[in-house]
Amino acid sequence: MHEYQLLEIMAFGFALALIFGLITQKLGLSSIVGYLLAGFLIGPLSPVFVADYALASQLAEAGVILLMFGVGLHFKFDDLIAVKGVAIPGAIAQSAAATICGTFIGMALGLDLKSSLILGIGLSVASTVVLLRVLTDNEVTNTTQGHVAIGWLVVEDMFTVLVLVMLPLLPEVLNIGFSINQDWTIIKAILLAVLRLSLLWVFIIVAGGKFVPWILSKVAKTRSQELFTLTVLVIAFATAVIAATVFQASFALGAFLGGMVVGKTKVSAQAAADLLPLRDAFSVLFFLSVGMLFVPSFIIERPALIVACILITLVVKPLIATIVVTLLGYSPRTALTVAAGLAQVGEFSFILAQEAKRLSLASDAVYNAIVICAIVSITLNPSIFRRIPAFETYLKTKKKFWRFITSISEKRGRKRNKSQDLANNLLPAKELLKEKIAIVIGYGPTGREITRALSRHQITPIIIELNVDTVNELTNSGHFAIYGDSTKQTVLEAAAINDADYLIITVPSLNIAYDTAALASALNPKTKIFTRSRFLSSGESLKQIGVSGIAFEEREVAKSLTALLVEDLEKRTFEEAASAIAEAD
C-alpha cells in the first residue's frame, strides 16, 4: 500500500485548521489559535492521525519563503535604508537583552551555561510569519511602523545567520583559556559569514536585478497567466534555496531579497496578486507545524522555566524595543507597534534548538521550553497587537509621561511623514497628487480616448494594462501605468483604488467588467464606475454591483448602423428625386 503523507497532512491539517479556525473566530480569538490546536491534534501525541513532522516543517518553510518574498515585493530598498538607524541598534539591543536574561534565568533554574545561552538566543528572535501576519491583518505593513518592524526583522535574520555559523564553535567561545588558534578560528568563521552575506546581496540584488526584470518581461509578453505565476514561484523558491545552500543564509532572507528585486519591476503588482493565495495556504502549515511540537507534560515538569521564558518574551523584549524606538525619535505608536509585533518567538528558535541538540549543546528542556513559549506567545500576539490603540490611549492619560516621550520624537525630528504612511505602491496617493484620480482598465482605442479626455479635465489617469510593452511605453511617457489583472485586489490597491474618483472599464469582456466592478465597489463604494458591455441584458446585474454608467455595444451598434442606413437611404432618395427632375426637364 502506498503512503500519502503529503496528501494526508494537507487533507487532515487543512480540514482541522478550518474547523478550529472558525471556532476560535466565533470565540473572538485569532484563527492562529485554532491552527495551533489543529497542529497539536495531528502531532506525535495525537490518538488518531500522526503527521510526518519533517515533511510538515518543509511545507511550513515554503510558507515562510512565500511570505518573505511577498514582503520583499512591497519593501523597497529605500525603505530598508530609511529604517537602518533604528532597526540595527534596536535589533542588537533587544537580542542582547533577551539573550542575557534568558542565560541568567536558565542558569538560575538549573541549566548549564551552554543550554542557558541557547535558550537566551532562542528567545531573542521573533517569528517571521507571526510578525508579518499581524502587520498584514492590521493593515500596517506599509506604514512607518511596519517598515521599522520589518527592517528590524531583516537585521535579526542576518544575526541568526551569524549565530548558526558560530554554533559549532560555542564550546571554544565559552572556554576561558583562549589560544591564538581558537581566536583565529572564531574570527575566520565570522568573517566568512559576513562575506557570504555580502556575496548573497550582490548576487541577488545586483545580478538578479538585471536578469529578473528581463525574464519577467519576456514571460509577460506571452500573455499566459499560468507561465507568469510559475515564473514568480521559480524566482521566489530559487532565491531562497540558493541563499540557503550556496551562501549558508536563511531561506527567508533569500526570498526577501528576491522579492525586493521583483518589486522594482513593472509587474510587481500582478506578482503579488498571484502569490497571495499560495502564501496564505502555506502560512497555515507553519502554524500547524508549531502546534505539532507541543508536549503538555513539560508544563508540569518545568513550570518555573516556562513562566520565566514567557515573561522574557512578553515583557523584556517589548520593553527594550519600546525604549529603543522611542529614544531614537519615533512616535509612540511606532514604538508600541514594533514592541507588540516582536513579542513572540518562532521558527528560527526551533531551528537553533534542534541544531544545538544535534551538537549536544542544549538539553531537551531548552527545546521544549522554547516550543511552549512560542505557542503561548503566538497565541497571545494577535490580541496584544489589537490592543495597541487602547494602550496608547491609556498612556495619554499619564500626561507627564506622554509629554516626555512625544517630546523626544519632536526633538529628533522623526514626526511621522504622511508619505511614509502611504501604501508602498507604484503611485503617489491622492493627497500628494492634489488632483482627482481615475483608473482606466485597458489601453486600447477606447482607453486612449478616455485617457485623453481625463487629462483635458485635469483628472489624473492611472492605467491598468496586461500588455507589458504598453505599460513600459506609458511609464516612459510620464503616465502612471501598472501591469496586472484588474480583477485582483492587490492590483487595484496598487492603482490607488481607495482614493479613486472614477473607475472606467474599457475592455470588452463582461467577466472582467463584472469582477473588477464588484471588487472596486467593495474596496471603495464612493468610486464612480463606468464600463462597456456588449448586451443590454447585462445592464441590471452590472448596476446591482455598483456600476454608475454603462455604454452598451448593442445599442451603440444599432445607432451607428441605423445612422449609416438612414444616411444611405436619404442619399438615394435625393439622387432619385434629382434624376426624376432631370428626366422631366
DSSP assignment letter at 9: H
DSSP string, 98-149: HHHHHHHHHHHTT--HHHHHHHHHHHHS--HHHHHHHHHHTT-TTSHHHHHH
pLDDT for position 416: 42
**Could you give phi then psi for residue 436, rounded to 5 degrees?**
-75, 150
What class, spelled out in words, does domain 52-175+265-410 have in CATH?
mainly alpha
Please report how the helices 251-263 and 225-245 are oriented relative to each other, as an axis angle in degrees rounded to 10.
140
Give pLDDT tens digits for 169-187. Answer: 666 555 544 455 556 666 7
CA triple 32-425-252, angle to 5 deg? 45
Give the total residue count for the chain. Answer: 585
Question: Strand order of the sheet with strand 547-552?
Answer: 480-483, 459-465, 436-441, 502-505, 528-533, 547-552
Residue 227: what residue type?
Answer: L
Q: Are 507 and 442 in contact (CB under 8 A)?
A: yes
| Domain extents in the chain | 1-50, 52-175+265-410, 430-559
Confidence class of residue 196 from pLDDT cuts 50, 70 and 90? confident
SS3 547: strand
Query: Is residue 12 scored above 90 in pLDDT?
Result: no
The CATH H-level superfamily of 430-559 is NAD(P)-binding Rossmann-like Domain (3.40.50.720)
Burial class (CB in 10 A: 0-12, 13-18, 19+), 327: middle
Among the listed residues 250, 68, 62, the one whose alpha carbon sits nearest the alpha carbon of residue 160: 250
Give pLDDT tens digits for 271-324. Answer: 888 887 787 777 788 778 878 877 888 888 889 999 999 999 999 999 998 888
Confidence class of residue 428 from pLDDT cuts 50, 70 and 90? very low
Q: Are 529 and 505 in contact (CB under 8 A)?
A: yes
Confidence class of residue 572 from pLDDT cuts 50, 70 and 90? confident
Grid cell digits, residue 518: 464588484
Residue 236: what residue type?
Answer: A
Among the listed residues 126, 66, 134, 139, the one whose alpha carbon sits nearest the alpha carbon of residue 98: 126
Region 196-222 average pLDDT = 85
Rounded to the nearest integer, the mean pLDDT of the chain is 81
Query: Is residue 417 scored above 60 in pLDDT?
Result: no
Region 216-230 average pLDDT = 87
Region 431-446 average pLDDT = 79
Query: Is residue 412 scored above 80 in pLDDT?
Result: no
Give pLDDT tens digits for 126-160. Answer: 877 778 778 877 777 767 778 888 888 878 877 77
411/434: higher pLDDT: 411
pLDDT for position 57: 75
pLDDT for position 539: 86
Q: What percent of the chain has pLDDT over 70?
A: 86
- Which residue, chain included where needed, has cell 522574557? 312
Query: Is residue 4 scored above 80 in pLDDT?
Result: no
Query: Is residue 162 scored above 80 in pLDDT?
Result: no
pLDDT for position 183: 60
pLDDT for position 465: 92
pLDDT for position 181: 58
User: Cα dist. 243→76, 96, 237 in Å?
Assistant: 19, 26, 10
User: Cα dist. 92→85, 122, 195 in Å?
Assistant: 12, 14, 20
Confidence class of residue 365 from pLDDT cuts 50, 70 and 90? confident
